[in-house]
Amino acid sequence: MIGKKGSIHLIIKKMICIGILTILIVSSTIGLFKVIEFIDMVKASENELDIDGDGRPDEFERDFNLNWDPESPDSNDIEWTFLVYVCGDDAPAGDPSGSNLFEYWEFIERLSWVGCTDNINIVVQFDGSDVLWGETPDRHWDKMRNNHLIVDPIPTSTRRFLVGTDSAQQWDPDTWNGSGDRMKDDILSSLWDVTDWPSGDPRVHNETDDNGNPNWEANMADPNTLFEFVDWGMDTFPSDHYCLYIRSHGLGVEGFGYDYRPNNNNTTTELDVITLPEMNTLSSLFDSVEKRLDLVNLYSCFMGNLEFGFKFLEFSDYHLASENWMVSSGNQDDDTLSTLESNPDWDPQRLAQEFIDDLEYWTSDGIENPPFNVLDWTPQFGNISMTYSVLNASHMTQDLFDNITSFNKNLSGGLSGAQSSWYNTSMWCAVNVSSDRYPDDTTYPRLQIDYYYFLNYWGYQSQDPPVPDQFFSNIRTSARQIMSVLWNSNPANRLIEYEKHCVNLTKTRGIAIYFPDYVKENIYDIRLHNTPMDWLYWWHVIEDCIRLGLLPSPR
């Protein structure tokens, strides 16, 4: 009996051992399968891996010889992220006249001469229109590296990409031809597709084309689109500093960010821009996520005005813009970025100054500048229009707003009453001495005048005819107070911290205000024909200009 029990126990032990062995074998097999599966997953998603946590795919960093170190994430700290917003869908469908698309691609190529580095991220949202120029890179996104979303995109699809380094550093406008082969090879092969549109996002114009393929055609003139790009970029590509670089046409106080949108007729498009009221939406969006930019470089014509400048400073520490034409292509910025790579600890103020200095250098030497800037080929532009300034948000004080309010109210007070006899002539003189910025230009309306010379007239110049002191003292005082903040003799206390302009522009000091040209022309008529100003039907426009909402809530 005892022997039988021993046999039973032995059998049970053997069964247990066999079971354990079976479990171990099965577990090992499953583990092996999981390891194999993991390896396959890693290989399949290699483009997506970001072990060092800097937002850039590891394969991208290895491809472009960046200092990728998965063992030491802290060593991969990025100093600057440039969020480049390129509005290339900037002319009516089928009409290439006025489009900057060619210039924008040159700009991207020049960025690739520096590319992402150990200290710099360059991430672009590009919206182009391939119908303008025929075979342009817009139709060949599949030549980009990591192009995993769309094999054959429709022409106007909007893309996001990192800019890698193109060591060849070649750009020749003569290679622009029907095939676009040079464009595909030299530019697109240096770019890394990171297109990432939220599903169902209302900011996206069309999510699919007629064949059901993803489209991602964004409306770049929607403030939500701009914000979503910046918000996504700041989250995806972390760094110590962030610069928003906007490339677009500009209409001064009427807006920027050209995007021609399809209307009810499929063969035509209509212009959309980001307007001044829409800047309130943009500011609110930044407030909602408690994010702030270090620098905005708004590379668009006529955007260096007080109205838009104040709105940008609500969510950016520094704002860089021109109150006149932007006549060079901006493709000198590879010099700026190369210098920044050598000085990664630069603060936003120093970087803004470098942008201005480089632009001034490339537009003032009087020769065709490499890389064959488009507008170097157009003699009538020359270098007459270069003007650029940077504003510092820390000097947007309540006192400044109060003085602007006082100045506007007192100017409005001269619209009628005893003062009107001298006021009409004074206003004409003030406007006349504040604008020489558009010599021989009949293409665009003059919507802005220089603020410095307008204030200087009211604050310092003698008045003819004599101005009643009891009325004029408040105007004079507030004008001087505004000037003391915007152009303080101490740069550390100056809202306009740095400004340069071509010698031809003698009445340009860094910032403009809204004052439409047709009003100015009628003021000339008043001077010539002695017409009572208050009889003219358009005078309410002047009053609206004076009382225009220049006063966002101070920070």
Q: Which residues of 309-343 are buried (b: 16+ CB within 10 A; e: fewer)?
A: bbbbbbbbbbbbbbbbbbbbbbbbbbbbbeebbee
Type and span of the H or E element at 338 = helix 333-342
> Which positions ≥6 away from 196 have C-beta within 8 Å?
160, 232, 236
Half-sphere exposure of 126 (CA within 13 A, CB side): 31
Q: How many other C-beta atoms lie within 10 A of the C-beta of residue 176? A: 16
Is 45's pLDDT higher than 50?
Answer: no
Region 89-118: mean pLDDT is 82
Count CB atoms within 10 A of the CB of residue 400.
19
The string of pLDDT tens digits covering residues 380-434 is 444 456 789 999 999 988 888 888 878 877 776 665 555 566 666 677 778 778 8
Give the separation between CA 260 and CA 176, rounded to whole angstroms: 24
**pLDDT tier at 283 (50, 70, 90 boundaries)?**
very high
What is residue 76's three-state secondary structure?
helix
pLDDT of residue 536: 35
Position 397 scores a pLDDT of: 86
Cα 163 versus chain centre, distance = 16
Q: What is the arithmetic mean of pLDDT over 164-190?
A: 63
List pLDDT tens digits, range 212-256: 555 567 889 999 999 999 999 999 999 999 999 999 999 887 899
> Mean pLDDT, to the nearest integer, of 281-298?
96
Check pLDDT > 50 for residue 555.
no
Centre a 10 Å sphere on the Cβ of residue 77 and count the other Cβ atoms it contains: 14
Q: Place 468 in a pLDDT band, splitting at 50, 70 and 90.
A: low
Does the pLDDT of residue 497 top 90, yes or no?
yes
Q: What is residue 74's predicted lDDT score, i.e. its pLDDT? A: 59
> Of the candidates 504, 83, 553, 110, which has an alpha carbon nearest to the alpha carbon of residue 295?
83
Distance CA 316, CA 294 (A): 5
Dist. CA 415–CA 430, nearest whole Å: 15
pLDDT for 224 equals 92
Residue 539, pLDDT > 50, answer: no
The rounded distance, in Å, linking the Cα atoms of 448 and 432 is 12
Cβ proximity of 307 and 379 under 8 Å: no
Angle between helices 517-529 and 539-546 (to 10 degrees): 120
pLDDT of 493 > 80? The answer is yes
Mean pLDDT of the chain: 74
Pair 93, 267: CB distance under 8 Å: yes
**Average pLDDT of the segment spanning 5-26:** 58
Query: Which of residues 368 and 101 earns the better pLDDT score?
Result: 101
Mean pLDDT, residues 149-170: 73
Look at the block and give the residue holding tokens 């010379």: 453
In this predicted model, what pLDDT tens digit does every residue of 53-88 receive, in sequence order? 888 998 999 889 887 776 665 566 899 999 999 998
Most confident of 256-260, 273-277, 358-362: 256-260
What is the predicted pLDDT for the residue at 20?
A: 57
The sign of the CA dihedral 408, 409, 411, 416 is: positive
**pLDDT of the residue at 98:** 67
The total number of residues shown for the chain amounts to 555
Q: How confident is the model at residue 148 (pLDDT cuts 50, 70, 90)?
A: low
Closest CA to 428 of 503, 324, 536: 536
Question: Percent of the chain, pLDDT > 70?
Answer: 60
142 — phi, psi (to 5°)? Answer: -65, -10
| pTM, two decimal places | 0.82
Only one residue has tokens 């293409």, namely 443
**Mean pLDDT, residues 137-143:** 66
- DSSP output for 16-33: HHHHHHHHHHHHHHHHHH
Q: What is the mean pLDDT of residues 200-209?
A: 51
